[in-house]
Structure 1
C-alpha cells in the first residue's frame, strides 16, 4: 500500500514540476500555453504530494514537493495583494458574462442583472434569441450596441451611460466581432472594448487568438484617457500572450488585490480557471471584483466596480 501511495505522490510531484516549468514557455507552442493556465491546480497537487511524502518520511521528495508548491504559488499569491479603492458616487459597475449561446435559461441572467444593477453589461455568445430575451432591459439600459451570431461569437453591450460613438470591429484574422464604444461618463469620455477571441483549440485557433489579443493591445495603446477592455479572452493571466496584452496595451487586470476569481468552467467553482477578464488603464481604480451566481452558462459572470479618477477625453 505504501509503495502505491508513494508512486501516486511521485507522479503528482513530477506532473507539477514538468507542467509548471513548461508553462513558462507558453510563447513557444500551444501545448506549453495550455500548461500555463493551471497554476492553482499544480499548487494543490504539490501540497498533497508533500503531505504524502512527509507522512511516509520521504524527506527529499517532500522537499521537492514543497519547492514545486512554492514555485506555483509564486504565480498565484500576488493576485491577492494590492491596493483597493473606497466607493464613490462616480463608481461604474460592470457586469461581464459569457452567457452560452444554447443556454435557454434566459431568466436567470435577467434576474441577476436586475439584482446587481450594473451600469454596463457586456455579454458574449448572444444570438437573436438572447437579444429578444434581453429586450426587457431596454427601459433601464437605453443604449446598446449588439452583434448577435449563432456560432458562439455574438457579442453585445448594454449601457446606462450614453453612447457617443460605437462600432463593430474585427481584430485579427478570425472574423469574430468586437465592439468599440465611446461612453459619456461623469468625468469625461470612457472608451470600452468588448472582445471574445476564439479558443486555442488547435494551432490555427491558437495563432488567431494571439493575433486578436495583439491587435486589441494596439487599439488600447492608441487611446488616450480612461479605457476598459472586457471579454472572455480564452486565456489566463499566466500565459505570455496575456502578459503581452497587458504590457503592450498599457493595461492592468482588475483582479489584482482581489484574487483569482475563476470563471470557467462554472461547475468547478473556485477550482476553475480565470479566462473572463476586465483590464483597465491608469485613469481607473478598482473598488471591488467578485464572481456572480451561475446563469446556466459554462462561465460564471464577473461583477466589477470601478472609479474613474482621470478626466481626459478619449476617442476611437
Structure 2
C-alpha cells in the first residue's frame, strides 16, 4: 500500500512540473507555474521516504525514482536565479543622497480588510515617496484621505469589484492617466514622477485578473495587459518603473517574456523570493507583487513588510536613479520569436 501511494504521488509531482510546458491559457495549465518551491520540497520529501521505506527494486520504480531526481535538478535550475546565490540583475547602491532615490510601497489591501490603521502605521514607519494600493474601494479611499497632507499628488480609481487602485506621491506627478487596457472594469495607471533631483521617471501601475476559475478561467487577459504595459515601457524615452500585483509569479514564462520585451529588470533576482502572497497560509506563498525598473537604476533596498490584515504582504523597494549602473546591470536579450509571441498574445481575444 505504501509503495502504491509513493508511486502515484511521485507521478503527480512530475506531472505538476510538466503541465506548465503546455502553453495554453486555460487556468489549469497556468496555475501550476506558481508553486515551484512547494513542488521542490515535496519532491525532496518523496525521495527521502522512498530511500527509507520503499527502496526501488523493479525497473518501473527505478525509472520513476530517476525521474524524481531529474525533476529536482530541473526545479533547482528554475529556482536558483531567485536565491541569494543567483546573479543579480540590478546592482546594489547603499549610498543615497535622497535626491535620486525613489522609494515605493505597494500593497494589495484586500478590499474587505478593515485594518486601515495598520497601513497608516506602516506608511509612517516606511516613509515611501510613492504608494500604490490595490483592491481599494470608496471605503479605502476615505480611510486613506488623511495621508493627502503629506502625499499631495494622487491618482485614484476606487472600485467595488476588488480592482480599484489608489496612487499617492510626495513627489510631483504629471501626465497622469487611468487606462482600461483590456477590460472596461479593470484599470491600470500611468504617470510621470519627478525625483528631487529633477529627473523624471515613468510609472506604470497594474493589477490584472488572475487565471483562476472564480475570476477568469484563462490567463489571456492577464498576459495581454502585462505585455501591453511591457510595450509601453519599451517605448518610453525616460527611465521606467512598473509595479503592482500582477497575479503572476516572477518565474512564469509570461513574466519572463515581459522582461525581454520591456527590457526591465527584477530586483529580486539574486536576492530572494520575497513571497508576497498568501500572507495567511505559509505553505502557499508566491511572489505576486512586483516592481520592475529600467537598467539605469540601482537598488538601495527591498523588503517584504508585515501583514496588515490582507492576504498580501506589502512590499517596499527603494530604487536609485544611477545612469552609470546601466553598464553593470544585466541587459536582457529579446529574440524575433519573443517579439512575435508577445504580439500574438497582445492580439489574442479572451
Judge same fold: TM > 0.5, yes or no: yes
Counterpart check, 1:106 vs 2:103: no
Counterpart check, 1:299 vs 2:312: yes
Provide TM-score, normalisation by structure 1: 0.91
Q: Structure 2 vs 1, CA of residues 270 and 277 (structure 1 numbering), >3 Å: closer, same or farther?
A: farther
2:77 to 58, 74, 77: 74
Counterpart check, 1:45 vs 2:55: no
Counterpart check, 1:157 vs 2:167: yes
The aligned runs of 1:88-237 (5 Å cut-off) are 88-89=96-97, 90-173=100-183, 175-185=185-195, 186=197, 188-202=199-213, 205-237=218-250
Summarize deviations over 1:40-90 as a string: whole Å, max 9, x none: 111000010111111136253544333222211211111122344122223
Q: Is the 8 A contact 2:153 2:172 kept in 1?
A: yes
Q: What is the alpha-carbon distance in structure 2 between the residues aligned to residue 129 and residue 28 of structure 1?
A: 34
Q: CA RMSD in A?
A: 2.0
Q: Structure 2 vs 1, CA of residues 206 and 124 (structure 1 numbering), >3 Å: closer, same or farther?
A: same
1:11 to 5, 8, 12: 8
**Where does residue 93 of structure 2 map in the other structure?**
86
Q: What is the alpha-carbon distance in structure 1 between the residues aligned to residue 174 and residue 312 of structure 2?
A: 30
Q: What is the alpha-carbon distance in structure 1 between the residues aligned to residue 250 and residue 55 of structure 2?
A: 34
**How many residues in Structure 1 have an aligned counterpart in Structure 2?**
308
Q: Is the 8 A contact 1:122 1:231 kept in 2?
A: yes
**Where does residue 262 of structure 1 map in the other structure?**
275
Q: What is the alpha-carbon distance in structure 2 between the residues aligned to residue 85 and residue 8 of structure 1?
A: 47
Q: Is the 8 A contact 2:25 2:220 kept in 1?
A: no
Q: What is the alpha-carbon distance in structure 2 between the residues aligned to residue 73 and residue 292 of structure 1?
A: 27
Extract unaligned runs of 5+ from structure 2.
57-61, 325-350
**Where does residue 314 of structure 1 map in the other structure?**
none
Q: CA deviation at 1:105?
A: 1.2
Q: What is the alpha-carbon distance in structure 2 between the residues aligned to residue 172 and residue 192 of structure 1?
A: 19
**Where does residue 303 of structure 2 map in the other structure?**
290
Q: What is the alpha-carbon distance in structure 2 between the residues aligned to residue 171 and residue 273 of structure 1?
A: 25
Q: Is the 8 A contact 2:103 2:317 kept in 1?
A: yes
Q: CA deviation at 1:242?
A: 1.8
